[in-house]
Structure 1
Amino acid sequence: MKKVILDLATTLDGFIEGPNGEIDWCIMDDDMNFDDFLSGIDTIFYGRVSYDQWGHFQPDAAAGDAEQRLWAAVHSKKKYVFSSHDRQDDQATFITEDMVARVREIKQQEGKDIWLYGGASLIKTFIHAGLIDVYRISVHPIALGSGKPLFEDLKERLELKLVETRAFRSGVVQLIYERKA
């Protein structure tokens, strides 16, 4: 069965974006091997706002080869967009109802794992519904003091098991957790 993987950057104080939605603090080091992560997925889950912002993003023509390859790899994946409004899009399937049932159905399909891209509202919904199998959290060496927290309005404890830790040159530490059975 496919796994839903939340791959996300956070600050030391637990924010996934700054108070004005900024993510300029995110570091992308070449030793993070994001290409390896992308090769292990074949599907991306987006919220509508994140999809509108990033689902069709094309890097500037002056961007380096690595960035061009990264975005080509992202855009090669099957995309699902969770939204309250249906929309026709040649590059994505919009899911407007029965989210939990649809996610479970998609997880049963053959293929590689699924990246839960976000945004914050969709991530919160997936956390509360228990739909995330792997939390791959990259903690960045910065504290913002305020912003959008990763774990917002939890109704009950979320118990996880640490399966791997990676440290990168930049000071980013990646923590990979699975849900406790």
Structure 2
Amino acid sequence: MKKVILDLATTLDGFIEGPNGETDWCIMDDDMDFNGFLSGIDTIFYGRVSYDAWGNYQPEENTDPEEQKVWEEVHSKNKFVFSSQNREDENAVFISSDIVEKVSEIKKQGGKDIWLYGGASLIKTFIQNNLIDTYRISVHPVALGKGKPLFEDLKGRLNLKLIKTNVFRSGVVQLIYEPQTQS
């Protein structure tokens, strides 16, 4: 069965974006092997705002060829957009109800894993409904002081088990967790 993987950057003080939505603090090093991550997924889950911003993003012509290849790989994936808007889009399937049931159906399809891209509201919904199988949190060496927190409005404690740690030359530390079942 496919796994839902939250792969996300956060600041040292736990924010996924600054107070004005900025993510200019995000570091992408070649030793992070983002292409390796992309090769392990065939589906991306977006919230509507994130999809509208990034779901069909095209880099400028003079962009580094490696970055252009990353965007081509991202756009080759199956895309699902979770939104109260139910609209037609040739590049994505919009889901506006029965999120838990629809995610379960998609996970049962064959193929590779699923990247829970975000945004914050969708991530919160997935956390609250225990829909995330793997948390890949890349902690960046910066503190913002304020912004949008990753873990907001939790209904209860979220117990995670550390599976792996990766340290990159930029100082980014990636923590990979799986939810721990309650006993």
How far apart are the structure 1 equivalents of 2:120 and 2:175? Answer: 19
Counterpart in the other structure of 1:45: 45
Matches within 5 A, 1:146-161: 146-161=146-161
Matches within 5 A, 1:94-173: 94-173=94-173
TM-score (norm 1): 0.99
Question: CA offset at residue 180 of structure 1?
Answer: 1.1
CA-to-partner distance for each residue in 1:120-159, whole Å, 9 max, x for gaps?
0000000000000000000000000000000001110101
Task: List runs of 5+ in structure 1 lacking aligned partners.
Answer: none
Residue 126 of structure 1 aligns to a residue whose secondary structure is: helix
TM-score (norm 2): 0.98
Residue 174 of structure 1 aligns to a residue whose secondary structure is: strand
Residue 21 of structure 2 aligns to a residue whose secondary structure is: coil
How far apart are the structure 1 equivalents of 2:74 and 2:158? Answer: 29
Question: CA offset at residue 106 of structure 1?
Answer: 0.3
Give the percent of matched residue pairs that are identical in Structure 1 and Structure 2: 73
Counterpart in the other structure of 1:77: 77
Question: CA offset at residue 98 of structure 1?
Answer: 0.5
Question: CA offset at residue 91 of structure 1?
Answer: 0.5
Runs (4+) of structure 1 exceeding 3 A deviation are none
Confirm or deny that 1:64 pairs with 2:64: yes
Cα root mean square deviation, aligned: 0.4
Task: List runs of 5+ in structure 2 lacking aligned partners.
Answer: none
* 1:131 aligned partner, one-letter code: L
Counterpart in the other structure of 1:34: 34
CA-to-partner distance for each residue in 1:66-122, whole Å, 9 max, x for gaps?
101100000000000000011100000000110110000100000000000000000
Confirm or deny that 1:12 pairs with 2:30: no
Question: CA offset at residue 65 of structure 1?
Answer: 1.2
